[in-house]
């Protein structure tokens, strides 16, 4: 138990992909299986300044190429999509992966042109997210669902088959502002943190726990994940220099330049020490984002071989 939330006793490690980085889906699946990663996650955008593949199509292929590896979206931009369409994709993927899917969702908003292209007002994304979550949950469970709210007006609809798991795949919400944390307490089974120091992460868990208590919600289990950018080098200075030169994965360059306190940089012992601080803060599922896209496979291999044994 941590911050009044029922957290797992074990620690899991996964890595995030999603951008077109020259690695085939087969190679990414091989990295996960060969090096014992617990999960593979993909980012999500419809319109993005850098090449990016569709999240669900990637995960469908990964489901076929992996065994025992959890698959997740970190995060699927839910307000851009109609809830019936999103629920159909999520429940189908839960079947294809035989219950290995975690549906990580979030608001997005980084690229206004993306919202214009999808004809969804950017200023409505929070309200649309709140409205979509209960609809998606009942749709994934195969229950008759009707859209009668401000944004969605569809007749009673039942998706078949329902998701592989009776309750549907767990929904984890990504975000770091108080509104997102409160939404976790009301509507999700887990939280995907981002750009938080260990101290900030603990405070955020406490906020989620308080909001859940105030609204009368109790969790049977709670997924506490964190998207953590890392860069391994011989020294912290060498790793920081490489991170600052990164032009790869979502916001990694900005994080490497502007927010070194939110990343794990340096020799294996330095990175392990930082991860241990996050574990003490309450993180139970680490989603690794490597800084330095041109050396991504090597960084993931080094993390598995040189950092995990130290933990």
User: DSSP secondary-structure letter at 168?
Assistant: -
Residue 247 has pLDDT above 60, yes or no: no
* pLDDT (0 to 100) of residue 238: 86
What is the pLDDT of the chain when averaged over all its residues? 92
**Lookup: tokens for 282:** 């309450």
Residue 167 has pLDDT above 60, yes or no: yes
- Band (pLDDT 50/70/90 cuts) for residue 294 is low
By the 8 A CB rule, do 79 and 108 touch? yes
* pLDDT (0 to 100) of residue 251: 45
DSSP state string for the chain: -BTTB---SS-EEEEEE-B--S--HHHHHHHHHHTT-SEEEE---SS-SS-B--HHHHHHHHHHH-SS-EEEES-EEGGGS-HHHHHHHHHHHHHHTTS-EEEEEE---S-HHHHHHTT--GGGHHHHHHHHHHHHHHHHTT--EEEESSS-EEEEE--SSPPSSTT-SPEEEE--SHHHHHHHHHH-SEEEEES--HHHHHHHHHHHHHHHHHTT---S--EEEEEEEEEE-SSHHHHHHHHHT---STTHHHHHHH-GGGSEEESHHHHHHHHHHHHHHT--EEEEEES-GGGHHHHHHHIIIIIGGG-
Spatial distance between the Cα atoms of 73 and 173, rounded to a whole number of angstroms: 10
- Band (pLDDT 50/70/90 cuts) for residue 292 is confident
**Lookup: tokens for 147:** 């859209």
The SS3 assignment for 119 reads coil
* pLDDT (0 to 100) of residue 256: 44
pLDDT per residue over 122-158, tens digit each?
999 999 999 999 999 999 999 999 999 999 999 999 9
- Nearest-CA neighbor of 194 among 276, 270, 106, 69? 106
The backbone torsions φ and ψ at residue 71, rounded to the nearest 5 degrees and listed phi first, read -120, 140
What mean pLDDT do residues 217-228 have?
97
Residue 252 has pLDDT above 70, yes or no: no
- Band (pLDDT 50/70/90 cuts) for residue 246 is low
For the whole prediction, is pTM greater than 0.85? Answer: yes
- Nearest-CA neighbor of 201 among 311, 308, 288, 280? 280
Residue 258 has pLDDT above 50, yes or no: no
- Band (pLDDT 50/70/90 cuts) for residue 18 is confident
Residue 300 has pLDDT above 50, yes or no: yes
Percentage of residues of the chain with pLDDT beyond 90: 84
User: DSSP secondary-structure letter at 117?
Assistant: H
């Amino acid at each position: 138990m941590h911050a009044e939330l029922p957290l797992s006793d074990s620690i899991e490690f996964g890595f995030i992909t999603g951008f077109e980085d020259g690695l085939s889906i087969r190679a990414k699946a091989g990295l996960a299986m060969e090096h014992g990663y617990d999960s593979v996650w993909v980012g999500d955008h419809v319109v993005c300044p850098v090449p990016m593949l569709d999240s669900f199509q990637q995960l469908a292929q990964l489901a076929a190429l992996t065994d025992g590896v959890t698959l997740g979206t970190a995060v699927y931009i839910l307000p851009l999509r109609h809830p019936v369409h999103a629920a159909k994709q999520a429940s189908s993927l839960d079947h294809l992966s035989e219950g290995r899917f975690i549906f990580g969702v979030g608001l997005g908003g980084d690229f206004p042109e993306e919202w214009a292209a999808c004809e969804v007002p950017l200023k409505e994304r929070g309200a649309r997210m709140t409205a979509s979550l209960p609809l998606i949950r009942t749709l994934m469970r195969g229950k008759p669902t009707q859209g009668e709210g401000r944004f969605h007006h569809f007749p009673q609809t039942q998706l078949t088959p329902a998701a592989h798991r009776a309750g549907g795949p767990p929904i984890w919400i990504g975000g770091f502002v108080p509104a997102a944390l409160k939404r976790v307490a009301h509507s999700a089974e887990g939280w995907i943190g981002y750009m938080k120091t260990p101290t900030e992460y603990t405070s955020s868990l406490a906020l989620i726990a308080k909001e859940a208590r105030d609204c009368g919600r109790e969790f049977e289990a709670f997924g506490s994940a964190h998207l953590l950018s890392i860069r391994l080098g011989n020294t912290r200075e060498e790793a920081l220099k490489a991170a600052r030169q990164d032009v790869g994965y979502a916001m990694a360059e900005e994080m490497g330049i502007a927010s070194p306190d939110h990343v794990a940089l340096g020799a294996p012992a330095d990175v392990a020490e930082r991860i241990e601080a996050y574990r003490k803060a309450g993180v139970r599922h680490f989603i690794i984002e490597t800084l330095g896209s041109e050396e991504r496979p090597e960084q993931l291999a080094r993390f598995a071989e040189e950092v995990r044994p130290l933990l």
